[in-house]
Amino acid sequence: MLGSMAALLPVDAAPGQEAGAAPLISAPRLVPARSLPVPGTVSPPLQAVIGAPYPTGWDAIPTSPEAWRALAAQSSAAVAPHLPAIRERLGVTVEPSRIAGVNVFIVTPNDLPTANRDRLLVHVHGGGYVLYPGEAGAGEAMLMAGYAGYKTVSVDYRMPPDHPFPAALDDAMAVWRDLSGRQDPRRMGIFGSSAGGGLTLAMVLRAKAEGLPLPGAIAPGTPWADLTGAGDTLQANAYVDNVLVSYAGWVGAAASLYAGGQRLTDPLLSPIFGDFQGFPPAILTSGTRDLFLSDTVRVHRKLRQAGVEASLQVFEGQSHAQFLTPFVPETEEAFREIARFFARHLG
């Protein structure tokens, strides 16, 4: 009873403390070691994903440009064997191309819905700004095309160590500038997850600053919106998330590599520090075990505080970006939800 009543006290009057006294400095909370079971409240295929061990090498931080390049090549090699089956089962075609001098992959549903024939999505992939070059980075675009029925242009942007910030953003903006000049931007959307979610937000900030047209809607999935390492779940979900595991692994090092010596609080690096006034409607996606759940929640709240229409979907038990796992019921559900959101806002 005391705990519930204490919540009613002024913030500067904790139990046993005189009202008006200087606020107590909160100490870190010690959490006892515990076994974390796989929840039975998700689909059986997702249970297998949640119960998987940590990825090999999550805590191996590359110490040279060659090692970062090797990690990127390894990430693509791990995905490549699965791409033909994904294309076939989702019923999509993938065509490599170039737009405004930037490598892209154009992903088209074999059965493009009539309502979406004059709509177009631009995709920026995740991977900490350092992983999944080439077609491997277009996997999320394939999911969007297959489950949601949208033609999608996936940007194969340049990455560190050879091309740090702002190369990725420059490439994405070059594609956006070209495409939005050729068709109605109100019928276009931008999406991506993790680093791609951060890039989605940075693209809107930069388009605003440069007076370029804004998309009709955006879908930042678990956006890496704060490269400084702040946020409650970076601590609360450390070693709970079985994808990123901890910011002490390679992902924290990737933030510095991508920034290339620039301030991590630059809004084009960490969009949470930007001005969200005038943003297009947004739908954000995360999971209860996601290391970046706080980034997602903070972006959602900041959008709402700016008066922007913003929806938030958080999936039970999922670690970082596990709503991108192919052929899991929750993945189809996530993309169907995003598709409905885009349908309401893209013209």
For residue 174, the SS3 value is: helix
* 328: helix, strand or coil: coil
53 three-state secondary structure = coil
Q: Is the pLDDT of residue 76 over 90?
A: yes
CA nearest neighbour of 237 among 50, 93, 15: 50
Measured CA to CA, the distance from residue 271 to residue 197 in angstroms comes to 10
d(CA 16, CA 259): 47
What pLDDT sits at residue 158?
98
- Indicate whether 34 belongs to any domain: no
Domain count, the chain: 1
For residue 183, is it within any domain?
yes
At 96, give phi and psi (nearest 5°).
Answer: -70, 145
Question: 26: pLDDT confidence band, cut at 50, 70 and 90?
Answer: confident
Beta bridge partners of 247: none
> Tell me: the pLDDT tens digits for 306-322?
999 999 999 999 999 99
Q: Does 15 score more than 70 pLDDT?
A: no
Length of the chain counted residue by residue: 347
- Average pLDDT of the residues of the chain: 95
- C-alpha span between 191 and 153 (Å, rounded): 10
Residue 191's H or E segment, with its range, is strand 188-193
Which tokens belong to 76?
């693509």
pLDDT at 104 over 70: yes
Average pLDDT over residues 44-53: 98
User: Any idea which residue has 């080439």 for tokens?
Assistant: 134
Residue 22 domain flag: no
What is the domain-level CATH number for residue 96? 3.40.50.1820
| Average pLDDT of span 257-277 | 98
Any domain includes 145: yes
Domain annotation covers residue 31: no
Q: What is the pTM of this model?
A: 0.94
Q: Residue 11: inside a domain, yes or no? A: no
Q: What is the pLDDT of residues 232-258, one digit of tens each?
A: 999 999 999 999 999 999 999 999 999
Domain assignment present for 26: no
For residue 277, pLDDT beyond 90: yes
Range of the domain at 285: 60-345
- What mean pLDDT is predicted for residues 159-183? 98
The pLDDT assigned to 37 comes to: 97
Q: What is the DSSP string of 199-222?
A: HHHHHHHHHHHHTPPPPSEEEEES
